Amino acid sequence: IKTIGVLTSGGDAPGMNAAIRGVVRSGISESLVMYGIYDGYLGLYNDKMVILDRYSVSDIINKGGTFLGSARFSGFLDEKKRLIAINNMKKKNIDALIIIGGDGSYSGALCLTKMNFPCICIPSTIDNDISGTDYTIGYSTALETIVQAIDRLRDTSSSHQRITIIEVMGRNCGDLTISAAIAGGCEFVILPELPYNKQELLDTIQCGIKNGKKHAIIVVTEYMCNTFQLAKYIENKTGRETRATILGHLQRGGSPVAYDRILASRMGAYSIELLLSGYKQHCIGIKNEKLIHYKIQDALTNIEKSSKYQLLKVAQKLY
């Protein structure tokens, strides 16, 4: 392997830039030629690639987003488009690809490996929804952002003796929700992996009101319900003013926290090691602070739930 391409794909996440930097500088230190591909798989298909040197990735370790750009390109499901993408890479003698992204990006990589193009995936999404890794790049920063938002909402919520519902991202994964609920000292949590009971929600709020609590904060994962309707329902049932806040895309931005920068740098360097050791269809994870690798296919199955039960038990004890 002499020439490697790197791209970021799917929803951006803080730390993606640090990961690109880790990949590019580690590749150059092994005397490899490094190509950056713009706009994810779309740029691969549109032939938007440039050679990167070590200075092309200066001053980005602290920056949110991804300087290579990202996209959700459903056209990549079409094998003919993937063939064009592979030919674009062959014209530049690119022998392998490093993909930084979430599960959609992993699916794209899996398709490429099935067409015999070597790929290594680095997990990066705020959702933390990739199986086999404790953390994905961007998750810790997003969590920090959410907790700061909860702290601010708590100030106004208690000043007005209101109930506040906060909707957080995560798609089908409640990791951001449950962790933010614990760190934010919230009263109730609703997440996709575990069932919840509306009466239990109302009882918890009523119990707090009876005991003189000035406010209640409820954290809910996106897509679980219509958050504004839930706020109306709670207001009607409890007689307490209730407000809903959808944090939305502000959760995706911002300077990555140190943990994400270090994780991204380690994973970036490891991806080059794996390619040079002959791995062609693998992804990287972190387990108990040790870097690991496993098949891309395995990352797309068996989402772990047991850790969420443990965290939910903690949250419930502290309501």
- Annotated binding-site members for ATP: 11, 72-73, 102-105
- Give Cβ neighbours of residue 192 (< 8 Å, ≥ 6 apart): 170, 172, 173, 174, 221, 223, 224
For the chain, count helices (H), then strands (E).
Answer: 11, 11
Shorter beta-carbon distance to ligand F6P: residue 127 or 193: 127
Residue 39 catalytic?
Answer: no
For residue 110, report the phi and psi dihedrals to the nearest 5 degrees: -60, -45
Q: Does 169 bind ligand F6P (CB under 6 A)?
A: yes
Name which of residues 92 to 121 contact ligand F6P (CB under 6 A): 102
For residue 19, report the phi and psi dihedrals to the nearest 5 degrees: -70, -45
Residue given tokens 């806040």 in the structure block: 245
Q: Does 14 bind ligand F6P (CB under 6 A)?
A: no
What mask, x for binding ligand F6P by CB under 6 A, covers residues 241 to 280? Answer: -----------x----------------------------
Q: Does 40 bind ligand F6P (CB under 6 A)?
A: no
Q: Does 126 bind ligand F6P (CB under 6 A)?
A: yes
Q: What is the dihedral of CA 285, 275, 35, 106, to 10 degrees?
A: -40
Q: Is the separation of the CB atoms in 19 and 270 below 8 Å?
A: no
Q: Does 167 bind ligand F6P (CB under 6 A)?
A: no
Least Å from the CB of residue 170 to ligand F6P: 5
Least Å from the CB of residue 128 to ligand F6P: 10
> Known binding site for ADP: residues?
21-25, 54-59, 154, 185-187, 213-215
β-bridge mates for residue 290, sequence order: 287
Pull the structure tokens for residue 85.
Answer: 């993408």
- Give Cβ neighbours of residue 208 (< 8 Å, ≥ 6 apart): 187, 216
Q: Active-site residue among 127, 129, 175, 260?
A: 127
**Residues assigned a catalytic role:** 127
Q: Given the rule CB under 6 A, which residues bind ligand F6P?
A: 11, 72, 102, 125-127, 169-171, 222, 252
